[in-house]
A = this chain, B = another copy of it.
Protein backbone atom coordinates (compact mmCIF):
# COMPACT_ATOMS: atom_id res chain seq x y z
CA UNK A 1 0.00 0.00 0.00
CA UNK A 2 1.64 3.24 -1.12
CA UNK A 3 0.57 6.79 -1.81
CA UNK A 4 -0.67 5.79 -5.25
CA UNK A 5 -2.99 3.15 -3.85
CA UNK A 6 -4.28 5.58 -1.25
CA UNK A 7 -5.04 8.18 -3.91
CA UNK A 8 -6.88 5.58 -5.98
CA UNK A 9 -8.93 4.26 -3.08
CA UNK A 10 -9.80 7.74 -1.86
CA UNK A 11 -10.64 8.88 -5.36
CA UNK A 12 -8.37 11.91 -5.11
CA UNK A 13 -5.15 12.93 -6.85
CA UNK A 14 -1.70 12.03 -5.55
CA UNK A 15 -1.07 15.72 -5.00
CA UNK A 16 -4.07 15.82 -2.65
CA UNK A 17 -2.83 12.83 -0.66
CA UNK A 18 0.56 14.55 -0.46
CA UNK A 19 -1.11 17.73 0.82
CA UNK A 20 -2.96 15.77 3.49
CA UNK A 21 0.32 14.15 4.57
CA UNK A 22 1.92 17.58 4.81
CA UNK A 23 -1.02 19.20 6.62
CA UNK A 24 -1.43 21.68 3.81
CA UNK A 25 -4.29 24.14 4.28
CA UNK A 26 -5.26 23.73 0.62
CA UNK A 27 -7.31 20.60 1.33
CA UNK A 28 -10.96 20.72 2.41
CA UNK A 29 -11.79 19.14 5.74
CA UNK A 30 -14.06 16.64 4.02
CA UNK A 31 -11.31 15.47 1.65
CA UNK A 32 -8.78 15.33 4.46
CA UNK A 33 -11.08 13.05 6.48
CA UNK A 34 -11.71 10.79 3.50
CA UNK A 35 -7.98 10.37 2.79
CA UNK A 36 -7.11 9.77 6.44
CA UNK A 37 -9.90 7.18 6.70
CA UNK A 38 -8.50 5.25 3.74
CA UNK A 39 -5.01 5.38 5.28
CA UNK A 40 -6.32 4.09 8.58
CA UNK A 41 -8.34 1.30 6.93
CA UNK A 42 -5.20 0.14 5.17
CA UNK A 43 -2.84 0.73 8.09
CA UNK A 44 -0.74 2.97 5.90
CA UNK A 45 2.28 4.58 7.56
CA UNK A 46 3.60 7.37 5.41
CA UNK A 47 7.31 7.42 4.80
CA UNK A 48 8.65 9.91 7.28
CA UNK A 49 11.40 11.30 5.13
CA UNK A 50 9.29 11.59 2.01
CA UNK A 51 6.64 13.29 4.13
CA UNK A 52 9.06 15.83 5.50
CA UNK A 53 10.03 16.70 1.95
CA UNK A 54 6.47 16.87 0.74
CA UNK A 55 7.24 14.21 -1.84
CA UNK A 56 5.18 11.23 -2.69
CA UNK A 57 7.14 8.23 -1.45
CA UNK A 58 7.60 5.51 -4.01
CA UNK A 59 8.66 3.05 -1.31
CA UNK A 60 11.79 2.56 -3.32
CA UNK A 61 15.39 2.65 -2.17
CA UNK A 62 18.37 3.17 -4.46
CA UNK A 63 21.37 0.85 -4.33
CA UNK A 64 24.54 2.23 -5.87
CA UNK A 65 27.59 0.07 -6.37
CA UNK A 66 30.57 0.20 -8.69
CA UNK A 67 30.02 -3.20 -10.26
CA UNK A 68 27.28 -5.69 -9.36
CA UNK A 69 29.30 -8.57 -10.79
CA UNK A 70 32.06 -8.11 -8.20
CA UNK A 71 31.72 -11.07 -5.81
CA UNK A 72 31.58 -8.96 -2.65
CA UNK A 73 29.22 -6.33 -4.05
CA UNK A 74 26.95 -8.98 -5.60
CA UNK A 75 26.45 -10.52 -2.18
CA UNK A 76 25.72 -7.14 -0.60
CA UNK A 77 23.12 -6.36 -3.28
CA UNK A 78 21.46 -9.71 -2.68
CA UNK A 79 21.12 -9.14 1.07
CA UNK A 80 20.06 -5.49 0.73
CA UNK A 81 17.36 -6.29 -1.81
CA UNK A 82 16.04 -9.14 0.36
CA UNK A 83 15.88 -7.03 3.52
CA UNK A 84 14.34 -4.04 1.75
CA UNK A 85 11.69 -6.19 0.14
CA UNK A 86 10.87 -7.78 3.49
CA UNK A 87 10.18 -4.25 4.68
CA UNK A 88 7.99 -3.38 1.71
CA UNK A 89 10.56 -1.44 -0.29
CA UNK A 90 11.61 -2.02 -3.89
CA UNK A 91 15.26 -1.70 -4.91
CA UNK A 92 16.49 0.41 -7.76
CA UNK A 93 19.97 -0.70 -8.75
CA UNK A 94 22.64 1.51 -10.30
CA UNK A 95 26.11 0.23 -11.21
CA UNK A 96 28.27 3.30 -11.52
CA UNK A 97 31.75 2.11 -12.27
CA UNK A 98 34.62 3.87 -10.49
CA UNK A 99 34.61 7.36 -12.07
CA UNK A 100 33.35 10.29 -10.00
CA UNK A 101 31.58 11.88 -12.94
CA UNK A 102 29.57 8.75 -13.56
CA UNK A 103 28.73 8.36 -9.88
CA UNK A 104 27.31 11.89 -9.84
CA UNK A 105 25.30 11.32 -12.98
CA UNK A 106 23.76 8.09 -11.72
CA UNK A 107 23.01 9.64 -8.37
CA UNK A 108 20.95 12.31 -10.17
CA UNK A 109 19.12 9.55 -11.97
CA UNK A 110 18.16 7.90 -8.67
CA UNK A 111 17.16 11.19 -7.07
CA UNK A 112 14.97 12.04 -10.06
CA UNK A 113 13.10 8.80 -9.34
CA UNK A 114 12.24 10.04 -5.85
CA UNK A 115 13.89 7.16 -4.04
CA UNK A 116 13.39 7.29 -0.25
CA UNK A 117 17.04 6.63 0.61
CA UNK A 118 20.26 5.49 -1.06
CA UNK A 119 22.73 2.81 -0.08
CA UNK A 120 26.23 3.39 -1.44
CA UNK A 121 27.87 -0.02 -1.32
CA UNK A 122 31.65 -0.19 -1.21
CA UNK A 123 34.06 2.33 0.16
CA UNK A 124 35.05 3.61 -3.29
CA UNK A 125 32.17 6.08 -3.00
CA UNK A 126 34.02 8.09 -0.38
CA UNK A 127 36.44 10.37 -2.22
CA UNK A 128 39.60 12.15 -1.01
CA UNK A 129 38.39 15.72 -0.64
CA UNK A 130 35.23 17.47 0.59
CA UNK A 131 34.74 18.88 -2.91
CA UNK A 132 34.80 15.45 -4.46
CA UNK A 133 32.38 14.22 -1.80
CA UNK A 134 29.96 17.04 -2.60
CA UNK A 135 27.60 14.66 -4.38
CA UNK A 136 27.14 12.67 -1.17
CA UNK A 137 26.51 15.79 0.92
CA UNK A 138 23.97 17.01 -1.62
CA UNK A 139 22.14 13.70 -1.68
CA UNK A 140 22.03 13.71 2.13
CA UNK A 141 20.26 17.07 2.06
CA UNK A 142 17.33 15.34 0.39
CA UNK A 143 17.24 11.80 1.72
CA UNK A 144 19.13 9.61 4.18
CA UNK A 145 22.38 8.31 2.74
CA UNK A 146 23.96 5.05 3.92
CA UNK A 147 27.60 4.24 3.29
CA UNK A 148 28.26 0.51 3.43
CA UNK A 149 31.87 -0.07 4.28
CA UNK A 150 32.69 3.59 3.91
CA UNK A 151 32.62 6.51 6.29
CA UNK A 152 31.95 10.21 6.02
CA UNK A 153 31.00 12.53 8.85
CA UNK A 154 28.05 14.68 7.77
CA UNK A 155 24.37 15.22 8.63
CA UNK A 156 22.01 12.52 7.39
CA UNK A 157 24.91 10.26 6.32
CA UNK A 158 25.06 6.92 8.13
CA UNK A 159 28.02 4.57 7.95
CA UNK A 160 27.92 0.83 8.59
CA UNK A 161 31.29 -0.80 8.26
CA UNK A 162 33.64 -3.58 9.23
CA UNK A 163 36.73 -2.63 11.22
CA UNK A 164 39.06 -3.35 8.32
CA UNK A 165 42.04 -1.77 10.10
CA UNK A 166 41.81 -4.15 13.05
CA UNK A 167 41.15 -7.19 10.85
CA UNK A 168 44.28 -6.65 8.72
CA UNK A 169 46.30 -5.78 11.83
CA UNK A 170 45.21 -9.06 13.45
CA UNK A 171 45.83 -11.28 10.43
CA UNK A 172 49.24 -9.68 9.74
CA UNK A 173 50.20 -10.14 13.38
CA UNK A 174 49.26 -13.79 13.16
CA UNK A 175 51.37 -14.31 10.03
CA UNK A 176 54.35 -12.54 11.64
CA UNK A 177 53.96 -14.47 14.90
CA UNK A 178 54.18 -17.76 13.00
CA UNK A 179 57.56 -16.87 11.56
CA UNK A 180 57.14 -14.63 8.53
CA UNK A 181 59.93 -12.04 8.38
CA UNK A 182 59.45 -10.42 4.97
CA UNK A 183 55.74 -9.74 4.50
CA UNK A 184 54.42 -7.79 1.53
CA UNK A 185 50.99 -6.31 1.15
CA UNK A 186 48.97 -6.23 -2.11
CA UNK A 187 45.99 -3.91 -2.57
CA UNK A 188 43.73 -2.92 -5.43
CA UNK A 189 42.74 0.60 -4.40
CA UNK A 190 43.28 3.22 -1.73
CA UNK A 191 39.62 3.90 -1.06
CA UNK A 192 38.57 4.71 2.51
CA UNK A 193 38.58 1.02 3.39
CA UNK A 194 41.76 0.48 1.37
CA UNK A 195 43.63 3.10 3.38
CA UNK A 196 42.41 1.59 6.67
CA UNK A 197 43.60 -1.84 5.64
CA UNK A 198 47.01 -0.57 4.58
CA UNK A 199 47.36 1.19 7.95
CA UNK A 200 46.58 -2.12 9.69
CA UNK A 201 49.34 -3.86 7.76
CA UNK A 202 51.86 -1.08 8.39
CA UNK A 203 51.13 -0.90 12.12
CA UNK A 204 51.48 -4.67 12.54
CA UNK A 205 54.87 -4.54 10.80
CA UNK A 206 55.97 -1.64 13.02
CA UNK A 207 54.83 -3.53 16.15
CA UNK A 208 57.10 -6.38 15.08
CA UNK A 209 60.03 -4.00 14.49
CA UNK A 210 60.17 -4.45 10.73
CA UNK A 211 61.86 -1.70 8.78
CA UNK A 212 60.19 0.14 5.92
CA UNK A 213 63.39 1.05 4.11
CA UNK A 214 62.27 -1.07 1.23
CA UNK A 215 58.77 -0.90 -0.15
CA UNK A 216 56.45 -3.49 1.36
CA UNK A 217 53.07 -2.55 -0.13
CA UNK A 218 52.10 -2.63 -3.77
CA UNK A 219 49.13 -1.58 -5.84
CA UNK A 220 48.54 -4.78 -7.77
CA UNK A 221 46.47 -5.43 -10.91
CA UNK A 222 43.52 -7.71 -10.29
CA UNK A 223 42.66 -10.89 -12.22
CA UNK A 224 44.41 -14.09 -11.26
CA UNK A 225 46.81 -14.01 -14.20
CA UNK A 226 47.80 -10.38 -13.70
CA UNK A 227 48.53 -10.91 -10.02
CA UNK A 228 50.62 -13.98 -10.79
CA UNK A 229 52.61 -12.05 -13.41
CA UNK A 230 53.01 -9.10 -11.03
CA UNK A 231 54.44 -11.28 -8.22
CA UNK A 232 56.76 -13.07 -10.62
CA UNK A 233 58.08 -9.70 -11.83
CA UNK A 234 58.47 -8.52 -8.23
CA UNK A 235 60.58 -11.59 -7.44
CA UNK A 236 62.69 -11.05 -10.56
CA UNK A 237 63.30 -7.45 -9.51
CA UNK A 238 64.86 -8.84 -6.34
CA UNK A 239 62.02 -8.10 -3.89
CA UNK A 240 62.15 -10.94 -1.38
CA UNK A 241 58.98 -11.98 0.45
CA UNK A 242 57.83 -14.91 2.57
CA UNK A 243 54.21 -13.86 3.05
CA UNK A 244 51.62 -12.08 0.93
CA UNK A 245 48.89 -10.24 2.83
CA UNK A 246 46.17 -8.99 0.49
CA UNK A 247 43.21 -6.63 0.64
CA UNK A 248 41.04 -9.00 -1.36
CA UNK A 249 40.55 -12.75 -1.93
CA UNK A 250 40.97 -12.37 -5.67
CA UNK A 251 44.49 -11.00 -5.17
CA UNK A 252 45.17 -13.86 -2.76
CA UNK A 253 43.93 -16.40 -5.31
CA UNK A 254 46.34 -14.82 -7.80
CA UNK A 255 49.13 -15.18 -5.22
CA UNK A 256 48.26 -18.88 -4.91
CA UNK A 257 48.57 -19.18 -8.71
CA UNK A 258 51.99 -17.53 -8.46
CA UNK A 259 53.10 -19.96 -5.74
CA UNK A 260 51.95 -22.97 -7.78
CA UNK A 261 53.68 -21.68 -10.92
CA UNK A 262 56.94 -20.83 -9.16
CA UNK A 263 57.01 -24.00 -7.08
CA UNK A 264 56.99 -22.25 -3.67
CA UNK A 265 55.34 -24.39 -1.02
CA UNK A 266 52.32 -22.86 0.76
CA UNK A 267 52.30 -22.23 3.71
CA UNK A 268 55.79 -23.62 4.51
CA UNK A 269 57.72 -21.19 2.28
CA UNK A 270 55.02 -18.66 1.59
CA UNK A 271 51.98 -17.64 3.64
CA UNK A 272 49.04 -16.00 1.86
CA UNK A 273 45.96 -14.27 3.27
CA UNK A 274 42.83 -12.96 1.58
CA UNK A 275 39.96 -10.70 2.56
CA UNK A 276 36.13 -11.07 2.22
CA UNK A 277 35.94 -14.84 2.75
CA UNK A 278 34.46 -15.18 -0.72
CA UNK A 279 34.32 -18.12 -3.09
CA UNK A 280 37.84 -17.22 -4.25
CA UNK A 281 39.14 -18.35 -0.88
CA UNK A 282 37.46 -21.78 -1.00
CA UNK A 283 37.77 -22.38 -4.73
CA UNK A 284 41.57 -22.06 -4.65
CA UNK A 285 43.80 -25.00 -3.82
CA UNK A 286 45.17 -24.75 -1.17
CA UNK A 287 42.17 -22.96 0.34
CA UNK A 288 42.94 -19.44 1.49
CA UNK A 289 42.92 -18.05 5.03
CA UNK A 290 40.68 -14.99 4.84
CA UNK A 291 38.73 -12.37 6.80
CA UNK A 292 35.00 -12.80 7.12
CA UNK A 293 33.79 -9.20 7.02
CA UNK A 294 30.14 -10.16 7.54
CA UNK A 295 28.43 -8.83 4.42
CA UNK A 296 25.05 -10.20 5.47
CA UNK A 297 25.27 -8.63 8.92
CA UNK A 298 26.31 -5.31 7.40
CA UNK A 299 23.32 -5.29 5.05
CA UNK A 300 20.67 -6.38 7.53
CA UNK A 301 21.98 -3.83 10.02
CA UNK A 302 21.91 -1.03 7.46
CA UNK A 303 18.33 -1.80 6.39
CA UNK A 304 17.23 -2.10 9.99
CA UNK A 305 18.76 1.32 10.75
CA UNK A 306 16.99 2.84 7.75
CA UNK A 307 13.63 1.48 8.89
CA UNK A 308 14.22 2.95 12.33
CA UNK A 309 15.09 6.30 10.75
CA UNK A 310 11.84 6.19 8.76
CA UNK A 311 10.06 5.80 12.11
CA UNK A 312 11.71 8.99 13.37
CA UNK A 313 14.03 7.09 15.68
CA UNK A 314 17.45 8.46 16.38
CA UNK A 315 20.07 6.20 14.79
CA UNK A 316 23.87 6.18 15.17
CA UNK A 317 25.87 7.99 12.49
CA UNK A 318 28.51 5.27 12.56
CA UNK A 319 28.21 1.56 13.29
CA UNK A 320 31.43 -0.43 13.26
CA UNK A 321 31.63 -4.20 13.71
CA UNK A 322 34.62 -6.51 13.83
CA UNK A 323 35.66 -9.11 11.26
CA UNK A 324 36.88 -12.66 11.98
CA UNK A 325 39.87 -14.59 10.73
CA UNK A 326 38.82 -17.80 8.94
CA UNK A 327 41.89 -20.03 9.09
CA UNK A 328 42.53 -22.34 6.13
CA UNK A 329 45.53 -23.89 4.40
CA UNK A 330 47.61 -20.88 3.33
CA UNK A 331 48.81 -19.84 6.80
CA UNK A 332 50.79 -21.60 9.51
CA UNK A 333 49.44 -22.11 13.02
| Separation of A63 and B92 alpha carbons in the complex (Å) | 10
Q: A90 within 8 Å of B by Cβ? A: yes
Q: Could you say which of B81, B95, B284 contacts A81, with CB atoms under 8 Å apart?
A: B95
For chain A, what secondary structure do more than half of its interface residues adopt (helix, strand, loop), or is it mixed? helix
Nearest Cβ on chain B to A63's Cβ, whole angstroms: 8
| Separation of A225 and B281 alpha carbons in the complex (Å) | 13
Q: Could you say which of B5, B91, B285 contacts A284, with CB atoms under 8 Å apart?
A: B285
Q: A48 within 8 Å of B by Cβ? A: no
Q: Which residues of the other chain, B, contact A85 by a CB distance below 8 angstroms?
A: 94-95, 106, 109
Q: A37 within 8 Å of B by Cβ? A: no
| Separation of A225 and B328 alpha carbons in the complex (Å) | 14
Q: Which residues of the other chain, B, contact A5 by a CB distance below 8 angstroms?
A: 112
Nearest Cβ on chain B to A60's Cβ, whole angstroms: 8
In the complex, the answer to whether B82 meets A78 with C-beta atoms within 8 Å is no
Nearest Cβ on chain B to A31's Cβ, whole angstroms: 16
> Residue-by-residue, is A60-82 near B (CB-CB < 8 Å gives 1, otherwise 0)?
10010001110100110110011
In the complex, the answer to whether B69 meets A90 with C-beta atoms within 8 Å is no
In the complex, the answer to whether A93 meets B95 with C-beta atoms within 8 Å is no
In the complex, the answer to whether B68 meets A77 with C-beta atoms within 8 Å is yes
Q: A280 within 8 Å of B by Cβ? A: yes
In the complex, the answer to whether B92 meets A90 with C-beta atoms within 8 Å is yes
Q: A15 within 8 Å of B by Cβ? A: yes
Q: Could you say which of B13, B77, B95, B225 contacts A69, with CB atoms under 8 Å apart?
A: B77
Interface residues of A in 86-105 (CB under 8 A from B): 90-95
In the complex, the answer to whether A279 meets B71 with C-beta atoms within 8 Å is yes
| Separation of A78 and B257 alpha carbons in the complex (Å) | 27
Q: A68-B68, A95-B78 are in contact. Are A279 and B282 (CB under 8 A)?
A: no
Q: Which residues of the other chain, B, contact A284 by a CB distance below 8 angstroms?
A: 283-285
Q: Which residues of the other chain, B, contact A224 by a CB distance below 8 angstroms?
A: 282-283
Nearest chain B residue, comparing its CB with the CB of A109: B90
Q: Could you say which of B78, B110, B280 contacts A283, with CB atoms under 8 Å apart?
A: B280
Q: Which residues of the other chain, B, contact A2 by a CB distance below 8 angstroms?
A: 112
Q: Which residues of the other chain, B, contact A253 by a CB distance below 8 angstroms?
A: 283
Nearest Cβ on chain B to A14's Cβ, whole angstroms: 8
The listed residue with most B CB atoms (<10 A of its CB), out of A69, A77, A82, is A69
Q: Which residues of the other chain, B, contact A233 by a CB distance below 8 angstroms?
A: none
13 further interface pairs, Cβ-Cβ under 8 Å (given A69-B78, A85-B109): A13-B15, A14-B14, A60-B92, A77-B93, A81-B94, A85-B94, A92-B92, A93-B93, A224-B282, A279-B279, A279-B283, A283-B283, A283-B284
